[in-house]
Amino acid sequence: MKINDSVSNATALGVDKVGAEKTGAAKINAEARQQSNGSQAAGRSSDNVTLSPLSAKLQSLEAKVSASSVFDAEKVDAIKSAISSGQFSVSSEKVADGLIETVKDLLTSRIA
């Protein structure tokens, strides 16, 4: 007897036929509304958009974050050269302590 995997795969992914049909219908309705709004907006050329001060702050923060580097490139280069020259040493105690702390944090966050 063969088992149809498509049914179990669909349920494992959280996709059901009715939900997919609703999503498709919603997408079609949204596209129709967008086209309708687009034709109405073409008739009105005096529409204005004003951004709030919070939006301007968010844009400036985004620019600062994208301009700053996420990591220290010099430190990464120094570690790379130490690894390639064989001078980089790993402290097994620090690694073990870090793993234990991470597990403790994960366990306490699950309990809370």
Token pair listed for 34: 């967008």
Whether residue 77 lies inside any domain: the answer is yes
Q: What residues make up the domain containing 28?
A: 1-43
Tell me how many domains the chain contains: 2
* 39 in the same domain as 77: no
- Give me the residues of the chain with pLDDT under 50, please: 1-2, 4-20
Q: What b/e string do you get for 40-54 counting C-beta neighbours within 10 Å, with b at 16 or more?
A: eeeeeeeeeeeeeee
Residue 25's closest CA among 13, 36, 17?
17
Whether residue 56 lies inside any domain: the answer is no
Residue 84's closest CA among 76, 93, 73, 92?
76
Whether residue 31 lies inside any domain: the answer is yes
- Predicted pLDDT at 32: 66
Whether residue 57 lies inside any domain: the answer is no
* 111 in the same domain as 74: yes
CB–CB of 88/79 below 8 Å?
A: yes
Whether residue 50 lies inside any domain: the answer is no
Whether residue 5 lies inside any domain: the answer is yes
Whether residue 58 lies inside any domain: the answer is no
- Predicted pLDDT at 18: 44
Whether residue 80 lies inside any domain: the answer is yes
Task: Note the pLDDT tens digit of each residue in 55-71.
Answer: 889 988 888 888 777 78
Establish how many alpha carbons lie within 13 A of residue 62's alpha carbon, considering only the half-sphere containing its beta carbon: 6
- Predicted pLDDT at 35: 66
Count of C-beta atoms within a 10 Å radius of residue 10: 14
- Predicted pLDDT at 87: 94
Token pair listed for 25: 């219908």
